[in-house]
Structure 1
């Protein structure tokens, strides 16, 4: 697959608004060995340059496709802690991030975010523990430890109370903690925040979140990374077909 710059027009979608992160480029010539992890992941091995939507960009793909690794690399390159939190968080429960961020160059827009957050489902417990020891961070939860809330309640409380205007927010599979109804609540919160000058970069499996209007969606696969329309994602088509043909799907799945 040829490694070409992936670019889509955002004309008419954002009123000409500039973005915090315009694009990323993999500094391929600096990578010591493209055959070693994380560059051994096919989608990352083919990575060259990607452009971000000024408001919402999604990364989708099968488990192991590299979307969470890529989002982690973007977050760390943008100055966030690898396990999550704001730029003021600096802790490591267990260092497990890849070296990808060392070889990513982010092209910044003319605006600078006033705030930001890296929210990832798999290490949110660790961030919640760190939050208990930080009075300013705890204030976003009404001075109540996120450990005293359900996972989903803590996620939404963070988004509603901590996320604010003119921010850069990187989310890794946020649907892991959210019921379908709470995912719709997250969509609503995202819509309000994008109208206040925020930018979101998200990896997800959720067909509900992917429905965000006019978002840019990148699909990671064995063939590389390519933009895809919402209706052409497997997340949409498989969910739709299953709901419309549930008995036939179950018959095939359970057939001896």
Structure 2
């Protein structure tokens, strides 16, 4: 087989993300004005075949980028699989319309978008479906329902390969559940699922073998786990919380 034809047999759900050449983009306005988004629109992005973590401060563009990739892939912007069409109040940016998903003809098409802030509406959608096996999700705690999604949607054996877009799943998870999710993510990758995850969790981001992209005023840069700002901040705080609290609650 010619090396130039390798892309035809690329097993990744997404090989590359880039902007359409004819996309009408106002680079002075949101979201194109966010440095990380501007970099993707200019240079494109190649997610890892396994797990790619997007980390950074609030407003750095993590969730906006993930949402844009998910909707460009064909996933519902409020969460769920590409086999659903759940929508209540559209709030997504136009980024998904600007992005082109590059993949091989043999790449898997299944995908799932877990968006922490809209899962309540997604559960209501599932509850209303006749004969749905997921009508019980509202009866579970926040964390229990996320663990159920991991077991029965994201990491179910029938979903052999595809794409999982995860937007801050740690919002619902305890320490023990976060560790369980790391096991689940590794199992998903071993079966061929490609994962892109926006997170504030230094625990999730420590997953062995994952690619970490740190977003900020510089745009996007690849980073080692130990060099991440979230890791350094958590280490400093847990080592000496009084140093932070002294400044937070100092009398004016």
Separation (CA, whole Å) in 2 of partners of 1:111 and 1:225: 29
Separation (CA, whole Å) in 2 of partners of 1:62 and 1:28: 30
The change in CA–CA distance for 1:173 and 1:28 in structure 2 (over 3 A counts) is farther
Following superposition, the deviation at residue 110 of structure 1 comes to 5.5
Following superposition, the deviation at residue 28 of structure 1 comes to 6.1
Separation (CA, whole Å) in 1 of partners of 2:183 and 2:82: 25
1:198 corresponding residue in structure 2: 193
Contact 1:217 / 1:227 at 8 angstroms: preserved in 2? Answer: yes
Contact 1:55 / 1:200 at 8 angstroms: preserved in 2? Answer: yes
SS for the counterpart of 2:45 is strand
Separation (CA, whole Å) in 2 of partners of 1:32 and 1:184: 40
Asked if 1:216 corresponds to 2:211, the answer is: yes
Asked if 1:96 corresponds to 2:87, the answer is: no
1:145 corresponding residue in structure 2: 136
Contact 1:18 / 1:110 at 8 angstroms: preserved in 2? Answer: no
Contact 1:119 / 1:172 at 8 angstroms: preserved in 2? Answer: yes
Structure 1 residue runs of 4+, over 6 Å off?
Answer: none
**Structure-1-length-normalised TM-score:** 0.86
Provide Cα deviations, 1:61-100, integer angstroms capped at 9, x if missing partner: 1111111010000000111011010112113210111100
Match of 2:147 among 130, 145, 156: 156
Match of 1:51 among 46, 67, 77: 46
Match of 1:23 among 16, 20, 36: 16
What CA RMSD, in Å, does the superposition of the two structures yield over aligned residues? 1.9
Separation (CA, whole Å) in 2 of partners of 1:184 and 1:17: 30
Provide Cα deviations, 1:166-207, integer angstroms capped at 9, x if missing partner: 131111111111112111111111111111111111100000
Count of aligned pairs between the two proteins? 237
Structure 1 unaligned regions, length at least 5: 1-15
Separation (CA, whole Å) in 1 of partners of 2:230 and 2:109: 33
**Structure-2-length-normalised TM-score:** 0.87
2:55 corresponding residue in structure 1: 60
